Amino acid sequence: MNTNLSLAAFPGLTHEAAITVALGYAHDEPMLGRLHADHVQLVPQNRGQLTPEFAQSIAAAHPDTQFRLHANTHVTERRVFADLSGWTVYREFFSAAATVSKALKAPAYSAHAGAREQATCIEVLDYARRASDLFGCPVAVEGHYPTPKENGKWLFSTWEEYRMLFDSGVPYALDLSHLNIVAHQSGTNEMQLVSEMLACERCIEVHLSDNNGNGDQHRVLGAAKPWWWSLTDSIHESAVVFTEGNHFSASWNH
Protein backbone atom coordinates (compact mmCIF):
# COMPACT_ATOMS: atom_id res chain seq x y z
CA MET A 1 0.00 0.00 0.00
CA ASN A 2 1.54 3.29 -1.13
CA THR A 3 0.62 6.06 1.30
CA ASN A 4 0.77 9.70 0.24
CA LEU A 5 1.22 12.83 2.30
CA SER A 6 -1.64 15.02 3.34
CA LEU A 7 -0.31 18.39 4.44
CA ALA A 8 -2.29 17.74 7.64
CA ALA A 9 0.97 16.07 8.64
CA PHE A 10 2.48 19.56 9.00
CA PRO A 11 -0.20 21.67 10.72
CA GLY A 12 0.32 25.37 11.39
CA LEU A 13 2.70 26.00 8.50
CA THR A 14 1.82 28.11 5.50
CA HIS A 15 0.79 26.11 2.46
CA GLU A 16 4.06 26.98 0.77
CA ALA A 17 6.17 25.93 3.76
CA ALA A 18 4.22 22.70 4.20
CA ILE A 19 4.76 21.83 0.52
CA THR A 20 8.48 22.53 0.91
CA VAL A 21 8.70 20.23 3.92
CA ALA A 22 6.59 17.52 2.28
CA LEU A 23 8.47 17.47 -1.02
CA GLY A 24 11.93 18.52 0.14
CA TYR A 25 12.61 15.70 2.60
CA ALA A 26 12.05 11.97 2.92
CA HIS A 27 9.27 11.02 5.34
CA ASP A 28 8.20 7.76 6.89
CA GLU A 29 5.93 6.44 9.61
CA PRO A 30 6.40 3.31 11.75
CA MET A 31 3.44 1.39 10.36
CA LEU A 32 3.32 2.86 6.86
CA GLY A 33 7.01 2.95 5.94
CA ARG A 34 8.25 5.42 3.36
CA LEU A 35 5.64 7.99 2.42
CA HIS A 36 5.02 9.17 -1.13
CA ALA A 37 4.22 12.51 -2.74
CA ASP A 38 2.65 11.34 -5.99
CA HIS A 39 -0.51 12.95 -4.60
CA VAL A 40 -0.55 15.72 -1.99
CA GLN A 41 -3.62 17.02 -0.20
CA LEU A 42 -3.94 20.76 0.57
CA VAL A 43 -5.79 21.14 3.86
CA PRO A 44 -7.44 23.57 6.30
CA GLN A 45 -4.67 23.00 8.88
CA ASN A 46 -2.25 25.18 6.89
CA ARG A 47 -2.20 28.97 6.87
CA GLY A 48 -2.86 31.52 4.14
CA GLN A 49 -5.24 31.93 1.25
CA LEU A 50 -4.84 29.59 -1.70
CA THR A 51 -5.31 31.59 -4.88
CA PRO A 52 -5.62 30.28 -8.45
CA GLU A 53 -2.27 31.91 -9.24
CA PHE A 54 -0.57 30.10 -6.36
CA ALA A 55 -2.23 26.86 -7.40
CA GLN A 56 -0.93 27.23 -10.95
CA SER A 57 2.57 28.01 -9.68
CA ILE A 58 2.87 24.97 -7.42
CA ALA A 59 1.41 22.66 -10.06
CA ALA A 60 3.99 23.95 -12.55
CA ALA A 61 6.85 23.75 -10.04
CA HIS A 62 6.06 20.14 -9.08
CA PRO A 63 4.91 18.34 -12.23
CA ASP A 64 5.41 14.89 -10.66
CA THR A 65 2.90 15.61 -7.91
CA GLN A 66 -0.86 15.83 -8.28
CA PHE A 67 -2.31 18.30 -5.78
CA ARG A 68 -5.91 18.32 -4.58
CA LEU A 69 -8.00 20.27 -2.09
CA HIS A 70 -9.58 18.83 1.01
CA ALA A 71 -12.55 20.19 2.95
CA ASN A 72 -12.66 23.90 3.79
CA THR A 73 -9.11 24.83 2.84
CA HIS A 74 -8.71 28.63 2.85
CA VAL A 75 -9.56 29.78 -0.70
CA THR A 76 -11.56 32.99 -0.14
CA GLU A 77 -10.36 36.30 1.23
CA ARG A 78 -12.50 35.83 4.32
CA ARG A 79 -11.91 32.44 5.92
CA VAL A 80 -15.06 30.33 6.07
CA PHE A 81 -15.69 26.83 7.37
CA ALA A 82 -17.93 25.38 4.69
CA ASP A 83 -18.99 21.75 4.50
CA LEU A 84 -21.21 20.11 1.90
CA SER A 85 -24.19 20.63 4.21
CA GLY A 86 -23.71 24.37 3.63
CA TRP A 87 -23.78 24.10 -0.17
CA THR A 88 -26.59 26.63 -0.55
CA VAL A 89 -25.09 29.02 2.02
CA TYR A 90 -21.43 29.07 0.98
CA ARG A 91 -21.65 29.31 -2.78
CA GLU A 92 -18.80 31.84 -2.91
CA PHE A 93 -16.54 29.37 -1.14
CA PHE A 94 -17.40 26.45 -3.41
CA SER A 95 -17.00 28.59 -6.53
CA ALA A 96 -13.55 29.74 -5.36
CA ALA A 97 -12.56 26.21 -4.37
CA ALA A 98 -13.60 24.91 -7.79
CA THR A 99 -11.49 27.59 -9.49
CA VAL A 100 -8.44 26.69 -7.39
CA SER A 101 -9.03 22.98 -7.94
CA LYS A 102 -9.12 23.48 -11.70
CA ALA A 103 -5.93 25.56 -11.53
CA LEU A 104 -4.28 22.63 -9.77
CA LYS A 105 -5.68 20.27 -12.43
CA ALA A 106 -6.82 18.24 -9.44
CA PRO A 107 -8.22 14.76 -10.11
CA ALA A 108 -10.69 14.99 -7.19
CA TYR A 109 -11.96 17.02 -4.24
CA SER A 110 -13.09 15.66 -0.89
CA ALA A 111 -15.38 17.49 1.53
CA HIS A 112 -16.85 16.82 4.95
CA ALA A 113 -20.54 16.02 4.99
CA GLY A 114 -21.22 18.67 7.64
CA ALA A 115 -23.83 19.42 10.28
CA ARG A 116 -27.39 18.16 10.70
CA GLU A 117 -28.68 21.64 11.41
CA GLN A 118 -27.84 22.63 7.82
CA ALA A 119 -29.00 19.64 5.77
CA THR A 120 -30.01 16.00 5.70
CA CYS A 121 -27.90 13.07 4.53
CA ILE A 122 -29.97 12.85 1.34
CA GLU A 123 -29.45 16.55 0.62
CA VAL A 124 -25.68 16.26 1.14
CA LEU A 125 -25.52 13.44 -1.39
CA ASP A 126 -27.34 15.66 -3.88
CA TYR A 127 -24.99 18.57 -3.10
CA ALA A 128 -21.99 16.31 -3.76
CA ARG A 129 -23.39 15.50 -7.21
CA ARG A 130 -23.87 19.19 -7.94
CA ALA A 131 -20.38 19.98 -6.66
CA SER A 132 -18.93 17.39 -9.03
CA ASP A 133 -20.44 19.32 -11.95
CA LEU A 134 -19.01 22.59 -10.60
CA PHE A 135 -15.51 21.20 -9.94
CA GLY A 136 -15.35 19.16 -13.12
CA CYS A 137 -14.06 16.14 -11.18
CA PRO A 138 -15.34 13.60 -8.65
CA VAL A 139 -16.33 15.16 -5.32
CA ALA A 140 -16.08 12.71 -2.44
CA VAL A 141 -18.22 12.86 0.70
CA GLU A 142 -16.23 12.29 3.88
CA GLY A 143 -18.28 10.98 6.79
CA HIS A 144 -17.92 11.95 10.44
CA TYR A 145 -18.21 10.26 13.84
CA PRO A 146 -20.48 10.58 16.87
CA THR A 147 -19.94 13.46 19.29
CA PRO A 148 -22.17 12.72 22.28
CA LYS A 149 -21.64 16.11 23.91
CA GLU A 150 -22.99 17.78 20.77
CA ASN A 151 -26.12 15.61 20.48
CA GLY A 152 -25.23 13.94 17.19
CA LYS A 153 -24.15 17.13 15.46
CA TRP A 154 -22.57 15.57 12.38
CA LEU A 155 -24.08 13.82 9.37
CA PHE A 156 -22.86 10.35 8.36
CA SER A 157 -21.65 9.54 11.88
CA THR A 158 -23.25 6.12 12.47
CA TRP A 159 -22.81 2.72 10.83
CA GLU A 160 -26.33 3.00 9.40
CA GLU A 161 -25.47 6.31 7.74
CA TYR A 162 -22.19 4.93 6.38
CA ARG A 163 -24.23 2.14 4.81
CA MET A 164 -26.46 4.84 3.27
CA LEU A 165 -23.35 6.54 1.87
CA PHE A 166 -22.11 3.25 0.43
CA ASP A 167 -25.46 2.52 -1.20
CA SER A 168 -25.85 6.06 -2.61
CA GLY A 169 -23.74 5.73 -5.75
CA VAL A 170 -21.81 8.89 -4.74
CA PRO A 171 -17.98 8.91 -4.46
CA TYR A 172 -16.64 9.05 -0.92
CA ALA A 173 -13.49 9.45 1.15
CA LEU A 174 -13.20 6.91 3.94
CA ASP A 175 -11.34 8.14 7.01
CA LEU A 176 -10.48 5.04 9.01
CA SER A 177 -9.64 7.09 12.09
CA HIS A 178 -13.21 8.45 11.99
CA LEU A 179 -14.49 4.88 11.81
CA ASN A 180 -12.41 4.01 14.86
CA ILE A 181 -14.46 6.59 16.78
CA VAL A 182 -17.71 5.22 15.34
CA ALA A 183 -16.67 1.73 16.46
CA HIS A 184 -15.54 2.86 19.91
CA GLN A 185 -18.67 4.88 20.59
CA SER A 186 -21.09 2.27 19.22
CA GLY A 187 -19.29 -0.77 20.62
CA THR A 188 -19.45 -2.45 17.20
CA ASN A 189 -16.85 -2.99 14.46
CA GLU A 190 -18.65 -3.37 11.13
CA MET A 191 -15.77 -5.17 9.45
CA GLN A 192 -17.74 -6.40 6.45
CA LEU A 193 -19.16 -2.97 5.64
CA VAL A 194 -15.74 -1.31 5.95
CA SER A 195 -14.15 -3.97 3.74
CA GLU A 196 -16.86 -3.49 1.10
CA MET A 197 -16.52 0.29 1.21
CA LEU A 198 -12.74 0.13 0.83
CA ALA A 199 -12.98 -2.27 -2.11
CA CYS A 200 -15.48 -0.13 -4.03
CA GLU A 201 -14.33 1.98 -6.99
CA ARG A 202 -16.26 4.93 -5.54
CA CYS A 203 -13.86 5.00 -2.58
CA ILE A 204 -11.52 7.53 -4.15
CA GLU A 205 -9.60 8.50 -0.99
CA VAL A 206 -8.61 6.68 2.21
CA HIS A 207 -7.39 8.74 5.19
CA LEU A 208 -5.19 7.20 7.88
CA SER A 209 -4.27 8.31 11.39
CA ASP A 210 -4.73 7.08 14.95
CA ASN A 211 -6.85 8.09 17.96
CA ASN A 212 -8.15 6.66 21.22
CA GLY A 213 -11.74 6.39 20.01
CA ASN A 214 -12.90 9.54 21.75
CA GLY A 215 -11.92 12.22 19.22
CA ASP A 216 -10.12 12.91 15.93
CA GLN A 217 -6.60 13.32 17.32
CA HIS A 218 -4.59 12.88 14.09
CA ARG A 219 -1.95 10.76 15.79
CA VAL A 220 0.72 9.06 13.70
CA LEU A 221 0.05 5.32 13.48
CA GLY A 222 2.48 3.60 15.83
CA ALA A 223 3.44 -0.02 16.33
CA ALA A 224 0.05 -1.27 17.59
CA LYS A 225 -2.18 -2.19 14.65
CA PRO A 226 -5.74 -0.77 14.88
CA TRP A 227 -8.71 -3.11 14.41
CA TRP A 228 -9.15 -2.01 10.80
CA TRP A 229 -5.54 -2.59 9.71
CA SER A 230 -6.10 -5.95 7.99
CA LEU A 231 -8.88 -4.38 5.93
CA THR A 232 -6.42 -2.09 4.13
CA ASP A 233 -5.68 -5.07 1.88
CA SER A 234 -9.16 -4.47 0.43
CA ILE A 235 -8.48 -0.89 -0.72
CA HIS A 236 -9.43 -0.41 -4.36
CA GLU A 237 -6.43 0.02 -6.64
CA SER A 238 -7.60 3.42 -7.86
CA ALA A 239 -8.07 4.91 -4.37
CA VAL A 240 -5.44 7.38 -3.14
CA VAL A 241 -4.32 6.74 0.43
CA PHE A 242 -3.26 9.71 2.58
CA THR A 243 -1.71 9.83 6.02
CA GLU A 244 -3.12 12.64 8.19
CA GLY A 245 -0.93 11.83 11.19
CA ASN A 246 0.61 14.92 12.81
CA HIS A 247 4.38 14.77 12.28
CA PHE A 248 4.86 17.73 14.61
CA SER A 249 3.19 16.03 17.57
CA ALA A 250 5.39 15.80 20.67
CA SER A 251 3.97 12.34 21.33
CA TRP A 252 5.51 10.93 18.16
CA ASN A 253 9.09 9.74 18.55
CA HIS A 254 10.74 9.88 15.14
Q: Kindly report, residue by residue over 98-118, the tens digit of the pLDDT.
A: 999 999 999 999 999 999 999
In a domain, 253, yes or no: no
| Pair 138, 171: CB distance under 8 Å | yes
Could you tell me which residues are beta bridge partners of residue 139?
109
pLDDT of residue 230: 97
Read off the CATH number of the domain in which 26 is found. Answer: 3.20.20.150
Q: What 3-state class would DSSP assign to 11?
A: coil
- Sorting pLDDT into bands at 50, 70 and 90, what band is 148? confident
As a whole number of angstroms, the distance between CA 237 and CA 254 comes to 29
Q: Which domain holds residue 215?
A: 3-243
Interval 118-129: pLDDT, tens: 999 999 999 999
Number of structural domains in the chain = 1
Could you tell me which residues are beta bridge partners of residue 205?
173, 240
Could you tell me which residues are beta bridge partners of residue 66?
39
The mean of the pLDDT values for the chain is 96
In a domain, 251, yes or no: no
Sign of the dihedral defined by the CA atoms of residues 253, 231, 85, 42, in that order: positive
Q: How far is CA 31 from CA 3, 72, 104, 216, 245, in A?
A: 11, 28, 30, 19, 11
In a domain, 145, yes or no: yes
Helix (H), strand (E) at residue 59:
helix 52-61
| Pair 42, 50: CB distance under 8 Å | yes
In a domain, 250, yes or no: no
- 104 φ, ψ (degrees, to nearest 5): -75, -15
In a domain, 68, yes or no: yes
**pLDDT tops 60 at residue 250:** no
**pLDDT tops 70 at residue 252:** no
pTM of the model: 0.97
Q: How far is CA 137 from CA 133, 178, 202, in A?
A: 7, 24, 13
